[in-house]
Structure 1
Amino acid sequence: MRILIAGGTGFIGNRLTDYFQKQGHEIFILTRNPHKLEYKERVSYIEWLNPHSQPETELDEIDVCINLAGTSLNSGRWTKQKKQQILESRMISTREFLRIMNALPNQPDVFINASAIGYYGTSKDTVFTEDTIVSGHDFLAEVCSVWEQEAQEAESIGVRTVITRFGIILDQKEGALPKIALPYKLMFGGPLGNGEQWMSWIHIDDVIGSIEHIIHYPNIEGPVNITAPTPQRNKEFGKTLSNVLRKPHSLPAPSFALRTILGDMSILVLKGQYVYPQKLETSGYQFYYPTLQEALEKIYT
């Protein structure tokens, strides 16, 4: 396959590129700085989002388009300026990706656009699936909602469009887990706030596996929850992590302190949602790590 990726040098994009490269596929990475990136076999770097850049002139037949671009949610306190960057980076990159696809001589088979389970808002008792129509009302939910609406414009040019709503992605070195695990490694780990908030997580290998599954199952379209089938409340997540790391789970982090330190970004750790991967399950995807114990043991042992 010939695969076009925006955000291909980020957390998920790097892993996805390496995986598809090993499978023998040809990868094209959209980037602002193509000349600063390290050479990889079967990987081409194409300039975009710079004045006068026209990436479509360097592309021919593309089978799969994947948009992962956008300012990280974890890149600092959510100031007014940061919120604007989070929203605008997603809208600008998605609009440009749509323009590029529309300019290609032939349309790709599928367009996969990132989103997040933050779309659903937060709840302690609701189970969210892809059948949930109404989005939440906080900042992250609103960002996901308008981002998804923009991405779904790809349907108007006849491209199968999939919106991947990522949960908390678990990896030893990147993403949220190293920050969650650090207090435990320093012997003062514990629940965040009251510990009752749900954590809908997924191992990085299952993120890659889910995307590959989506590519090869043409009946999958629209939103897809990229989460494991066994969400855990924060306090149970912490207990499992402490058992795997063989560290104590005893000192809770007060909600007011986290709100003071993180501001609006505290919603990522103090509130959550139970998100179930209904489409992945009904389409037959087999998780590598369906339980948190299995996922954490794979990462840390």
Structure 2
Amino acid sequence: MKYHKLILAGGNGQIGKALAEHYKYDAEEIIILSRRPQPDKGNIKTLVWDGRTQGDWAKELEDADMLINLCGKNVNCRYTKANRDEIISSRVEPTTLLGKVADGLINPPKLWINAASATIYRHAEDRPQDEETGEIGYGFSIEVCKIWEKTFFDQPTPKTRKVALRIGIVLGRKDGALPRLINLVRAGMGGQQGDGQQYVSWVHEQDVVKATEWLMQHQNIDGVVNCTAPEPIKNAELMKELRHAIGIPFGLPAPAWLLEMGAAIIGTETELILKSRWVLPKRLLDGGFEFQFAKAEHALKDILSIRL
């Protein structure tokens, strides 16, 4: 499928880079909205914005096939008041701004995909959570998800189809969670975290990319869509598979009390590790979407075969 123009807001992160790399062969033009200037790379152009105020970049949304908003401060930090405020504002302000711009265009983007998080569901060890029967959790990270999605869906964009893509933990070649886990394994600390029974709802970065393409093609889909691999894995098993893929037979486990100390030292929250995320992509599967990487072992081997 050929595209005229794609817009990636906050497109210099892990997912944005994977999207740009994929679509550069099928799109006439890819516009990345970023706070930092970047040199043009063929049909990929970066425009500077602050995510708060309208500027010359706004006219580029006219006649776009797809807008993907990936803006948001990384939640891998301590939840101080300053960080909490920035986590929320860095999501709400760009989403609000993009909605106002799109609503004022003659030919706004046909599809607007807003990044969301699968962490919106409760801690689940008893049953999986999907778009129909999943239960929303509680706590700061869930409140962020709720505010973010409400802001997105409250924007009046009658000419634009909207999808909130609830993405799991993205496994990729260069950025995100996987390189950190690889470093732990190589340092001999690649055992289970906590009791190891918490589910990890992960997804290969290429399946995130493929999901956006699938959503563009399936014009009957809107609303909330989970983007996680169909086979979640428990933490202990994930670390075992990662050790096997790297070729390191043993890893020291990290009990919850040690994680709490370590999280305080490195500036993160244990919730990111200990919460059981058991999320299934029901709408994608029901619609016939085929994951390239359904099993974690296959995803890890694919990523490591290129990364190493």
Matched residue, 2:140: 139
Could you tell me which residue of structure 2 aligns to residue 187 of structure 1?
188
Match of 2:282 among 278, 284, 300: 278
Moved more, 170-179 or 51-60: 51-60
Counting only pairs closer than 5 Å after superposition, residues 1-301 of structure 1 correspond to structure 2 as 1=3, 2-33=5-36, 36-49=37-50, 53-74=55-76, 76-132=77-133, 134-154=135-155, 156-262=157-263, 265-301=269-305
**What's the CA shift string for 1:230-249, capped at 9, x where partnerless?**
00110111111111111123
CA distance in 2, matches of 1:59, 1:231: 36
Task: Say if 1:202 and 1:228, in contact at 8 Å, map to a contact too.
Answer: yes
Change (3 A) 1:207 1:51: closer
Contact 1:184-1:248 within 8 A present in 2 as well: no
Cα deviation code 1:123-156 (max 9, x no counterpart): 2223100113642111111100110011112465
- Letter of the 1:211 partner, please give it: T
Task: Tell which deviates more after alignment, 254-263 or 195-204.
Answer: 254-263
Gapped regions of structure 2 (runs ≥ 5): none
Aligned residue for 2:132, secondary structure, equals coil
- Name the stretch that deviates more: 254-263 or 158-167: 254-263
Q: Distance in 2 between matches of 1:169 and 1:90?
A: 18
The amino acid that maps onto 2:184 is P
Kept after mapping to 1: 8 A contact 2:6/2:27: no
In the aligned structure 2, how far is the partner of 1:133 from the partner of 1:214? 21
Alignment TM-score, normalising by the size of structure 1: 0.93
What SS does structure 1 have at the residue aligned with 2:31? strand
- Structure 1 alignment gaps of length 5 or more: none
Relative to 1, partners in 2 of residues 1:25 and 1:119: Cα closer, same or farther, differing over 3 Å?
farther
Separation (CA, whole Å) in 1 of partners of 2:209 and 2:271? 26
Two-structure CA RMSD over aligned residues (Å): 1.8
1:259 is displaced (CA, Å) by 1.7
Q: Structure 1 CA distance, aligned partners of 2:87 and 2:57?
A: 23
1-structure distance, mates of 2:164, 2:253: 35
Cα pair 1:111 1:154 within 8 Å, conserved: no
Task: Provide, for residues 2-27 of structure 1, a one-character-per-residue CA deviation record: whole Å limited to 9, x for no partner.
Answer: 11110111110111012111223311
Shift in alpha-carbon separation, 1:52–1:187, aligned structure 2, 3 A: closer
2:14–2:172 contact (8 Å) kept in structure 1: no
**1:52-79: CA deviations, max 9, x gaps?**
62422344311211110111122x3232
Structure 1 contact 193–253 (Cα < 8 Å) conserved: yes
Aligned partners of 1:51, 1:225: CA distance in 2, in Å?
A: 30
Kindly tell me the number of residue pairs found equivalent between the two proteins.
Answer: 298
The question of whether the paired residues in 2 share the 8 Å contact of 1:5 and 1:67 is answered with yes
Deviations, residues 144-201 of structure 1 (Å, cap 9, x unaligned): 0110011112465242110111101111321101111212112231000110100011
SS at match of 1:15: helix
**Deviation sequence 1:215-269 (CA, Å, 0-9, x none):** 1111111111111110011011111111111112342112112123325721010
Does 99-108 or 88-97 show the bigger shift?
Answer: 99-108
**Which amino acid in the other structure matches residue 122 of structure 2?**
G
Equivalent pairs: percent with the same residue?
Answer: 33
For 1:59 and 1:140, the matched residues in 2 are separated by 30
